[in-house]
Amino acid sequence: MSYDCAVSVRVPDSLEELVTGLAADPGCELLAGGTDLMVEINFGRRRPASIMSLSRVTELKGWSEDAATGELVLGGALTYTEMLQPDLAGRLPALAQAARTVGSPQIRNAGTLGGNLATASPAGDTLPVLVALDAVVVVESADGRREVPVGDFVTGAKRTALRPHDVVHSVRVPTRRTRQEFLKVGTRNAMVIAVCSAAVVVDLDSCSVRVALGSVGPVPLRAHEAEELAGEVLDWDAGGVLAGDAHRDGALERFAGLVSAASRPIDDHRSTAAYRRHAVGVCARRALERVAA
């Protein structure tokens, strides 16, 4: 072959080898499930000269519970299929609900949490869930480890706080008593990119509600005013439930309106800004009804 289009592919066996390799070759692309990267390559949008596969880096795989802090530690290479297994899904139901909406079984077997974070698509489905769960991204590189809250990790549409030689090591999710729900709108009933999504977490430890929205802005958005309203209308003494009184519908309606107002959607070929603004409010309201019934 006369035109040079060769790509070097390395398969490091450990995190150590991975981060030193990256430090020496910061232009290198990481390959986890390849469900974003290979699409980019096929479209000619990215043509990396070198690639490092995460497939043998065991430190990034699976999930565990931090005995000291009680936090859940989700590996950077955790797959969607793993998020759907009952042991993890039982602890983080909204993450499992989001994972179930991603692609097809093949995509869920290959695609990873780290890949979703590093791609940082406005439609990345785990992002609003991680924001609503108050999760923190653990970033590893040859010069050490640092922790970045998910909200700060995603800095713009497809932009992150990752430096070229960084790896998403894991995501730490605080374990609190919560009820959580994730809803996603797409123009088909499965295997569809989000037109909008909403994650709602009722946090019984802090007596607060967190609402994060996907696909209605460049980054996942918190709906702070809606959160405050929800915090006020939930009866925390009764376990964080909505009072069944006459004001219930009015409060939910205002909640939906505040969520819509917090969104910053655009018109594109998938939908219109007006629909997204409307639909994200409907989704958040329905999510709240489910977790605070």
Ligand X SMILES: Cc1cc2nc3c(=O)[nH]c(=O)nc-3n(C[C@H](O)[C@H](O)[C@H](O)COP(=O)(O)OP(=O)(O)OC[C@H]3O[C@@H](n4cnc5c(N)ncnc54)[C@H](O)[C@@H]3O)c2cc1C
Per-residue HEC secondary structure of 225-251 comes to: HHHHHHHHHEECCCCCEECCCCCHHHH
**Do the Cβ atoms of 200 and 132 come closer than 8 Å?**
yes
In terms of residues, how long is the chain? 293
Question: With binding defined as CB under 8 A, does residue 97 bind another protein?
Answer: yes
Residue in 30, 94, 229, 233 binding ligand X, rule: CB under 6 A: 30
Quick one: how many helices (H) and strands (E) in the chain?
A: 12, 16
Residue in 111, 122, 186, 214 binding another protein, rule: CB under 8 A: 186
Nearest CB to ligand X, comparing residues 197 and 263: 197
CA gap 229, 6 in Å, rounded:
57
Residue in 82, 92, 97, 114 binding ligand X, rule: CB under 6 A: 114
Q: Binding marks (x or -) toward ligand X, 43..72, rule CB under 6 A? A: -----------x-----x------------
Interactions with ligand X, residue window 115-174 (CB under 6 A): 115-116, 118-119, 123-125, 162, 167-168
Task: Provide the minimum distance between the beta carbon of 247 and ligand X in the complex, in angstroms, as a whole number.
Answer: 37
Site for another protein (CB under 8 A): how many residues? 42
- Residues in CB range of 44: below 8 A, 6 or more apart: none
Nearest CB to ligand X, comparing residues 32 and 131: 32
Question: With binding defined as CB under 6 A, does residue 107 bind ligand X?
Answer: yes
Quickly list DSSP for 162-205: --TT-EEEEEEE----EEEEEEEE-SSSSS---SEEEEEEEETT
Closest chain position to ligand X (CB): 115
Torsional sign, CA 283, 288, 290, 291? positive
Task: Provide the minimum distance between the beta carbon of 125 and another protein in the complex, in angstroms, as a whole number.
Answer: 10
Total Cβ atoms within 10 A of residue 70: 10
Residue in 66, 157, 253, 261 binding another protein, rule: CB under 8 A: 253
Tokens read off for 120: 């940082």
Tokens read off for 23: 């430090």
Task: Provide the minimum distance between the beta carbon of 292 and ligand X in the complex, in angstroms, as a whole number.
Answer: 26
CA gap 160, 167 in Å, rounded:
12
Interactions with another protein, residue window 22-51 (CB under 8 A): 42-44
**Burial of 45: CB neighbours in 10 Å, binned 0-12, 13-18, 19+:** exposed
Question: With binding defined as CB under 8 A, does residue 195 bind another protein?
Answer: yes
* Binding partner at 120 among ligand X, another protein, none, C-beta below 5 to 8 Å by kind: none
CA gap 69, 273 in Å, rounded:
41
Residue in 12, 22, 33, 234 binding ligand X, rule: CB under 6 A: 33
Report which of 179, 236, 242, 227 is spatially closest to residue 207, judged by C-alpha positions. 236
Nearest CB to ligand X, comparing residues 19 and 252: 19
**Burial of 90: CB neighbours in 10 Å, binned 0-12, 13-18, 19+:** exposed
Question: With binding defined as CB under 8 A, does residue 249 bind another protein?
Answer: yes
Q: Binding marks (x or -) toward another protein, 46..85, rule CB under 8 A? A: ----------------------------------------
Binding interface with ligand X (CB under 6 A)? 29-37, 39, 54, 60, 76, 101-103, 107, 110-112, 114-116, 118-119, 123-125, 162, 167-168, 193
